[in-house]
Amino acid sequence: MTFQRARTDEQRSQRRRQILDTAALMLTEMPVAKLSLNGLSRRVGLAKANVLRYFESREAVLLDLLDTEIQDWIAELERARTDCQGTTRERGHGLADLLATSMTQRPVLCDLFSAQGAVLEHNISTEAGIRHKRAARASLRGLVHLVLRHLPELGTEDAAALVETTLLVAMAAWQCSRPSDAMLAVYASDPELEAMRPDFTDLVRRTTEVTASGLLARRQAQSDVSQAC
């Protein structure tokens, strides 16, 4: 396939979107570590130098894709029809289950999350890093808004703490729940060892539930002390 250089802003935007869509498709077939700029260039039908006209590096492509995946995830969460009624405990459990199950259903997002600090945020310019962090800040606000819909008792500060904890656990849990072939053989060799294999959905769900409960309990304790004084 022969491509002409994109000359208008709309054409450049379409070309960037095509590169990101192709990278997302490739990540359904391979982990982040195996996606190369050469492989991406071949798949999208452009010379490597032409891909670099739109993104400064492989990591910049993946970082932009992470921001897009997060935005799509938040939009999906906002559309989800979830029951925000019930006791605080019930609403906390419902929120934890929503976050955990929705992330499990987005393996590309989780793989990008797990590689963010060690891979994606390297080999990029300061400008690219600024764009990413500004996008991340906007995404954090969106997730905080979602949490407050379920648990308004938390307040903005604690809702942000809950989001940060959930995301950090998801980053680590995703890697641990994707064992190597050697470790899969270890788990298969002994049921007691198999029980040690982390389950991503369960880890994220339980961590979110416990963190929400702890934050709510602390707020209640602080309120009790204030009233006593």
Domains annotated for the chain, with CATH where assigned, are 1-55 (1.10.10.60), 58-228 (1.10.357.10)
Distance from C-alpha of 131 to C-alpha of 152, rounded to nearest angstrom: 30
3 state DSSP class of 55: coil
Taking only the tens place, the pLDDT of each residue in 72-107 is 999 999 988 666 788 999 999 999 999 999 999 999
> CA angle at residue 129 from 70 to 48, to 5 degrees?
85
Q: Classify the phi-psi angles of 31: left when phi > 0, otherwise alpha if psi is within -120 to 50, otherwise beta.
A: beta
Taking only the tens place, the pLDDT of each residue in 31-55 is 999 999 999 999 999 999 999 999 9
Residue 105 φ/ψ, nearest 5 degrees: -80, 0
Residue 190 φ/ψ, nearest 5 degrees: -155, 120
Cβ–Cβ < 8 Å for 57, 74: no
Please identify which residue in the block is written with the tokens 């990540």.
27
Cβ–Cβ < 8 Å for 116, 66: yes
Taking only the tens place, the pLDDT of each residue in 139-151 is 999 999 999 999 9
Its pTM stands at: 0.87
pLDDT top residue among 137 and 81: 137
Please check the confidence at residue 204 and state whether its pLDDT lies above 80: yes
Strand extents, DSSP E, 25-136: none
pLDDT on residue 227: 73
First to last CA, the chain: 75
pLDDT on residue 31: 92
Residues ≥6 apart with Cβ < 8 Å to 3: 45, 46, 50
Distance from C-alpha of 183 to C-alpha of 175, rounded to nearest angstrom: 13
